[in-house]
Structure 1
């Protein structure tokens, strides 16, 4: 371009000169194009090099931060080493070459420990794999940048080349430690991954072997198991060593489980504290209001708030721990049974108090016996003795016949359950069925104690709800704004079903056949099936409906935190109950999330949703317009906040309080006493008056005084009446204005604004009463229409005529 600017114009006449000029221009253009292309290529290479260097630096910085916050290699390596050392001790007593009689409990505990170790190692393996994968990706990315050809294209200018080479050398020096660290960690974590894979494989092998031994053991569980040779280990085993080794394995089982599910343990304890706080505040409120006698035996939940919280939370939250070991269950049941024992002091009569204490003691003893993992003749005698004690206890309770004194009559069923199971245990022990006898022994005692704990869990919950509905007539912050009117005064029916099902599982877990049935059912539900081209499993469909059910249930449970108030009269109160107005949005969000999670968890392809949406679109076009209109109108009400739950509204001349805004309709408590269910579309399309958001309700009263009255005095008296009433707003200020000379009086209009809509009628009544009182005291006449009758005597034989003449109320003449 610069060369072209210097070219002179061609001569105007000579043709040869023009041709030379054109050739000159073409030559210059060709040279300029070549220079421009070269410059463009240089600029492109420069920008590309700049991008590569920037990406290299950014990745280098990320790798540094990643490595600084990386995994603790030595800790993981030590954990692997510790687990490897524990394996022989865990396998103690499971080798058929050293033991002629296996026990179901020992195989179960060993399997459980291996599963817990496997869970811990899988968690560590996931972290290691993620870390190693990040290292490899970073190394690959840095190497890919280093292999870019554009990075090694140097400028033609020597000075620029020198600067660029210096920049590359600086980057190389800066990145070298990172590259060395990546190589080091890459090799290190390759070794660590190999070690993790090896120990995980070994653990899976041990678990499979132990499960195979459990299966073989339970296939012969009805055969005679007691060795006949008195020199066998069954007869010569040191009982003290049995206790020590069993305790060591059970302790490992518990510690690994607590570590694996530490978060749930924390939640469990937090729920106990929250429940204790709830019951403590409930007790204080009951004492303060004196509406209940907290010393009444029927309200023992208030006597011991903390102990009651332990029983309640243990009662239902124990089912949220996945596959807990027996020792974990035993500790939680121990804490709950001791708490319930302290609650029973002074509540049960002496006989049933002794019954409960004895039941807890034999239950705790049977639990300790169940933790003995290595069989011996001493343990056989212990099992027989404890079974005999249970049978005698059962017969004694039945002989005494004091079941009519029970606070919970259903406890009788658990007593019979325990007695029958202990009788079966004793018979099986005599017949030499060691393992099965032990299972029936423990199941019998677990059944009675856990059954009573669950019965009292429900009873304590019902007591707490009944008291709360009586002493809390409105929602308060100290009880998390729970609406007890919606929650109810007793546990829902599904809660009883849940606890019954849970009790069956807790008792059944003592038998291998029960776990096999559960496994068979699980396999049946999880097996894949085909309908046409669609692949599914019953378990997936079950998960789908369960998640939907849970999401709907959560959506409904949210309503217990929504207000069901009387009329809201202030902005503070309106803010306090505003959650009820947003409840529709929260419910829609919960159900929508539940729907998508249900599809994702069940494995149903999300592209199937498009088919459903297409069918739904057709349905909307054909007959669901009204439903969609109401749903959208509900969303508009929730977003615009033109009306909230608790607002006093008027629709078509009828007033009421907004109770809730639902999916399709809103509920309004009418002042007449009825409940109106109004489609949301009508609330949007029709005129809706909101008295809560206004400045109060206007009241106008016309008061007449007699002609000749002192109007200044009347005005003073009326202002005095208005100033005395605190229900009347100061702004806008009330007005007292004479408005008309009527036939019988001078009319004075009194205009005021009432703070609370509900006080409208009472303010008007009090205003008229007080006005009449002060006017009488000050000799001010309130006139009323009068008629004067004139009676005239006329000659006989003629009709009598009566003439009426309207007169002024002040004229009292008659003729």
Structure 2
């Protein structure tokens, strides 16, 4: 067995050697191993282009990320103002927990307004921070996507590609590190800001609920018995030191919060300054134009009451009167401050504008204002304080009954001021009644609201007078610049302008009045809910607010297109005897006002385009059924504006109507005849009828003078006298010959037809009358009888 085994082992080794020999020989001739595992990828067509594109895309993305993160996502406002809001929230918490005994409903309403403003800002910041956070997450996802990209991984593994794109890879590594570092830093900062903003936001929500509950409780307590009846109170000389100390600390915190409000709404002050500057420059430039034209007597005749060539006080009154429109939810302290500035400005203005007796009445109003402000600051009224407040209410009632009618006669809006006077008297009676029966909070509210409402309506009435006087001086300056001498019916314009301004004045007064009565927020929420609540008619959704805005915009556009002509020297009545063409600029402005007003009104409704298309389709059906003439006049008016066969001021004749073009409207135009009548001519008739424009190229016209003389022997002397007389007249054009034609000739008399040209068609009848008289006198002086 053993020999057999050894032989077999030798045979096996030999067989293995023979089998491995070809492999060893092949290994001696085989190629050396590849240097990279991506050889096949590099040999793939377009692989180099894809590498370049990917590198370029990565570079662009990293550059964009670095640029965005370097700017810091514009969180400077949040980082600057968030500490103020957090401090205000802490102040409100302290007032509600520590100083609640000295808080009244006005303080609570101020907190509510300020917290609403802070909530709005915090809500906007939360939205911005969430947006920034999403951007950062997107950037990080893009960076992680590049790290997992197949091409970028191949570039990272392939040493030959790394040598080929050495500079590009270095730039990518540099920008990659910068992007990761800045993204991480911004992510940390924005996350921290999100946490702080969200924390303040939710704390503010809780405080708003608490303040809302306290306002509700305070409102119910105000109608209840807060103090003893006036005849039950025992006076005490001991001041509540602790209450006064708490009040001082509370007021200090409230002043700090109001400082925040003024800083946050500084744009309102900029708007007020801008309004004052615009009004000042408007009136100042109008007066300067009149002075430069040497027409100072026009200013003296106008006898302006409140505006002067340098209208500093008037500009301040206008700006302060419009302050309530720039913040529909102002805190009471803001309203009181605006009232004080308005009071001070009006006092300086009335010192030189009103008679002494009337100014003394105004001084009494100022004293009432100061006394009411003082009593309103008292926290715990004593017997003497309540008696003084009662005397103040009675004195206010007597003043309103005896002296307010005198002030009312000096101001516009007399009917509304009369209503406010009765409200003033009624509120003081209610304040006295509440004081007697221990409702001190209600007494303070009624007393303060009465005097504030009175001052506000006087200021707003003066505001209307200043605006109308500014319009008047603008019209005068435009007419003086255009050298127009016809009369201006200012009373008619003033009446319509006052009606338009009265709407805004009443709204402004109601804002101040309801704010002082602590009813503004409640009424505003109810009105906004009524106006903004979606309504439905079929499939069409609308709101009452959009409908009100539609009517208001159309009304304002109509008023503007009617009276905008007075800014360009347009006259109101009378035939001036002059031809002053203004071109089509004014008419085009009116057309633009109407079109823009219509489009803006349609946009204000919020109706979708398909609904508007349906309405226009319905209008098309109506046009086809019976509105052809109206549409014809509208289109004709537009054609007249651009084709310009006639202009404002042209002397035209159409059919049996002859006069000066006073107005070119969208539907009809107006002619003013020499008799003073206004003739309304549809634009379609002007465009399709026979129109004679006497002043299309010039104002010349030929007139005819019929003359009959006797005896015929003196005909040459008569012709010479007629020639000399006509040539001597100033309105006759000397470069045009005077034609003397015969109408009939016999032995007794000779009929002449004298034709001459005058320079102004508007003076046709006047010149003709003067020439007839002068020719008669010249012929009589020459001994020639005139038949």
Structure-1 separation of matches of 2:141 and 2:721: 94
C-alpha distance after superposition, 1:686-713 (max 9, x if no partner): 2323333313434276999999999999
User: Which of 429, 440, 445 is matched with 2:446 structurally?
Assistant: 440
User: Which of 607, 610, 613 is matched with 2:613 structurally?
Assistant: 610
Larger CA deviation: 616-625 vs 495-504: 495-504
Change (3 A) 1:84 1:564: same
User: Which of 244, 264, 285 is matched with 2:271 structurally?
Assistant: 264
Change (3 A) 1:60 1:393: same
> Is the Cα contact below 8 Å between 1:45 and 1:153 reproduced in 2?
no
Structure-2 separation of matches of 1:716 and 1:67: 98
Aligned to 1:206: 207
Q: CA deviation at 1:346?
A: 6.6
Q: CA deviation at 1:612?
A: 0.9
What SS does structure 2 have at the residue aligned with 1:659? strand
> Is the Cα contact below 8 Å between 2:368 and 2:396 reproduced in 1?
no
C-alpha distance after superposition, 1:61-110 (max 9, x if no partner): 88788778775434431321232133212333222x66346411221122
Change (3 A) 1:441 1:753: same
Question: How high is the TM-score relative to the length of structure 1?
Answer: 0.70
C-alpha distance after superposition, 1:223-275 (max 9, x if no partner): 344699x9xx9944253663464155145325524425344333443355257
Aligned to 1:734: 736
Q: CA deviation at 1:564?
A: 3.1
C-alpha distance after superposition, 1:388-428 (max 9, x if no partner): 242342365489x5677555387776566445534543553
Aligned to 1:13: none
Q: CA deviation at 1:585?
A: 1.8
Structure-2 separation of matches of 1:773 and 1:736: 18
> Is the Cα contact below 8 Å between 2:651 and 2:661 reproduced in 1?
yes
User: Root-mean-square deviation (CA), in Å?
Assistant: 5.5
Q: CA deviation at 1:736?
A: 5.9
- The question of 1:83 aligning with 2:85 is answered yes
Change (3 A) 1:676 1:194: farther
Aligned to 2:623: 620
What SS does structure 1 have at the residue aligned with 2:647? coil
User: Which of 294, 298, 317 is matched with 1:289 structurally?
Assistant: 298
C-alpha distance after superposition, 1:420-443 (max 9, x if no partner): 534543553464444333322322
Aligned to 1:27: none
Aligned to 1:357: 363
What SS does structure 2 have at the residue aligned with 1:442? helix
- The question of 1:670 aligning with 2:673 is answered yes
> Is the Cα contact below 8 Å between 1:735 and 1:750 reproduced in 2?
no
Aligned to 2:525: 519
Change (3 A) 1:119 1:260: farther
Change (3 A) 1:165 1:690: farther
Aligned to 2:640: 637
Change (3 A) 1:168 1:420: same
> Is the Cα contact below 8 Å between 2:323 and 2:338 reproduced in 1?
no
- The question of 1:691 aligning with 2:694 is answered yes
**What does 1:337-376 align with in structure 2 at a 5 Å threshold?**
337-345=343-351, 353-367=359-373, 370=376, 372=377, 376=379
Change (3 A) 1:199 1:383: farther
Aligned to 1:33: none
Aligned to 1:803: none
Instruction: Extract unaligned runs of 5+ from structure 2.
Output: 1-43
C-alpha distance after superposition, 1:23-80 (max 9, x if no partner): xxxxxxxxxxxxxxxxxx989997x999999998988888788778775434431321
Q: CA deviation at 1:532?
A: 4.3
Aligned to 2:258: 253
> Is the Cα contact below 8 Å between 1:649 and 1:657 reproduced in 2?
yes
Structure-1 separation of matches of 2:207 and 2:251: 19
Change (3 A) 1:691 1:452: same
Q: CA deviation at 1:387?
A: 2.0
> Is the Cα contact below 8 Å between 1:273 and 1:309 reproduced in 2?
yes
Structure-1 separation of matches of 2:765 and 2:596: 44
Q: CA deviation at 1:323?
A: 1.6
More helix by share: 2
Structure-2 separation of matches of 1:712 and 1:63: 104
Change (3 A) 1:183 1:265: farther
Q: CA deviation at 1:582?
A: 1.0
Aligned to 2:515: 509
Structure-2 separation of matches of 1:621 and 1:133: 57
What SS does structure 1 have at the residue aligned with 2:649? coil
Structure-2 separation of matches of 1:623 and 1:440: 59
**What does 1:81-120 align with in structure 2 at a 5 Å threshold?**
81-95=83-97, 99-100=100-101, 102-120=103-121
Q: CA deviation at 1:497?
A: 5.3
Structure-1 separation of matches of 2:375 and 2:286: 36
Structure-2 separation of matches of 1:718 and 1:70: 92
Change (3 A) 1:717 1:447: closer
Structure-2 separation of matches of 1:143 and 1:338: 66
- The question of 1:73 aligning with 2:78 is answered no
